[in-house]
Amino acid sequence: NAGVTQTPKFRILKIGQSMTLQCTQDMNHNYMYWYRQDPGMGLKLIYYSVGAGITDKGEVPNGYNVSRSTTEDFPLRLELAAPSQTSVYFCASSELGGGAGYTFGSGTRLTVV
Partner 1 sequence: AQTVTQSQPEMSVQEAETVTLSCTYDTSESDYYLFWYKQPPSRQMILVIRQEAYKQQNATENRFSVNFQKAAKSFSLKISDSQLGDAAMYFCAYRRSMNRDDKIIFGKGTRLHILP
Q: Which is nearer to partner 1, 18 or 111 (CB)?
A: 111
Closest approach, Cβ 71 to partner 1, in A, equals 16
Name which of 67, 68, 49, 63 is nearest 18 in CA terms. 63
- Report the distance separating Cα 13 and Cα 78, nearest Å: 10
Number of other residues whose CB lies within 10 A of the CB of residue 107: 18
Stretch that binds partner 1, among 20-28, 60-68, 70-78, 86-94 (CB under 8 A): 86-94
Q: Does 104 bind partner 1 (CB under 8 A)?
A: yes
Q: Does 12 bind partner 1 (CB under 8 A)?
A: no
The one-letter amino acid code at 47 reads Y
**Site for partner 1 (CB under 8 A): how many residues?**
24
Distances (CA, A) of 38 to 23, 30, 35, 97, 100: 20, 27, 10, 27, 25
Closest approach, Cβ 90 to partner 1, in A, equals 7
Q: Which is nearer to partner 1, 69 or 106 (CB)?
A: 106
The interface with partner 1 within residues 28-57 (CB under 8 A) comprises 33, 35, 40-43, 45, 48, 50, 56
Q: Which is nearer to partner 1, 19 or 45 (CB)?
A: 45
